[in-house]
Amino acid sequence: MSRKTELFLKLEDFFWREHLSAEALPYGVKGSELLLLKVLAVISSYTMPANIESSLDCRTCAVIGNGFSIKNTSLGEIINKYDVVIRLNDAPVRGYEEDVGNKTTLRLFYPESASYNPGIHNDPDTLLVLVPFKQHDLRWLKEILYDEKRVRKGFWKPPPLIWLGRTSQIRILDPYFLRLTASKLLQIPLQPRQHQKPIHPTTGILAVFVALNYCDVVHVAGFGYPESRNQKQPIHYYGKETMKSMKNSYHDLSQEGQVLKRLEDQGAILYLHPHS
């Protein structure tokens, strides 16, 4: 795959010319241009921090999944030494530093997985990267940024009505990365057949794909799910959710596991701890 290191959408992509996207969200921006224009007009930056973007000869990245496998690994100090640390959704850091570290460069999330106060489990300069899976996700962010009336419909779980992310921290991930994660890495159809449940990549496998494009060295931890037949096994290093909660998800977890194994066998990624 050709490397694309511009991760985030920019205002000029929409303001000066028509954005030629053949796909709607989550794999393109067709039909969402006006929402993006309004959101990007408020966000003050569209790039990575300068110290990461320009000064590193070899960019090392750690992608930290939320899986139970990272529990009791004592990897925290090692994780904090990577140039870029990518975390997912609302996974906590405070109270778990010994295993997961406390440095966060990027946090990928969507409204249903947003933490009301990102300051609690992130650094002051952590980039909060919205992965828009649907138009409602962009609308949620627009309503927050413009302090408009919140519309609650269209979410599988209520997102925060108040969100304390600062505009200087917010970025929008280019749907290019989700599209290629689906089509090239997982080889799942972008358009499901009629009456077929759509399958989307998890934010975890998406983060690995982003890292493979952006970084020179990609190490991972906290990936992998228990055997699906073990419904009582916790799936995260925090909380009490089990495999039972994944029953109706829009993800193909076994396929993602096979892809991660292939990437590991090819030497594209390296696990920081033993895993099944």
Residue 176: CA atoms inside 13 Å, Cβ hemisphere, count? Answer: 14
Q: Which residues of the chain have pLDDT under 70?
A: 1, 15-20, 55, 226-229, 246-248
| pLDDT for the residue 19 | 59
Q: What is the dihedral of CA 122, 123, 128, 129, to 10 degrees?
A: -100
| pLDDT for the residue 246 | 66
Q: What is the dihedral of CA 266, 185, 221, 216, to 10 degrees?
A: 60
H or E segment and range at residue 128: strand 127-130
Cα–Cα distance measured from residue 201 to residue 154, given in angstroms and rounded to the nearest whole number: 19
Question: What is 236-270 written as a DSSP string?
Answer: BSSS--BGGGGTT-S--HHHHHHHHHHHHHTTS-E
Alpha helices in the chain (DSSP H): 12-15, 33-42, 50-53, 76-79, 97-100, 135-145, 175-180, 203-214, 253-265
- pLDDT digits 0-9 by tens, 212-224: 999 999 999 999 8
| pLDDT for the residue 229 | 61
**Which listed CATH number (3.40.190.170, 1.10.3720.10, 3.90.1480.20, 3.40.50.1100) goes with 12-190+197-271?**
3.90.1480.20
Question: Residue 63: CB partners within 8 Å, gap ≥ 6?
Answer: 86, 204, 207, 208, 211, 218, 219, 220, 221, 223
Q: What is the dihedral of CA 182, 186, 189, 190, to 10 degrees?
A: 0
Closest CA to 273 of 25, 102, 65: 65
Closest CA to 171 of 133, 141, 149, 191: 141
The amino acid sitting at 108 is L
**What is the residue extent of each domain of the chain?**
12-190+197-271
Closest CA to 174 of 1, 2, 13: 13
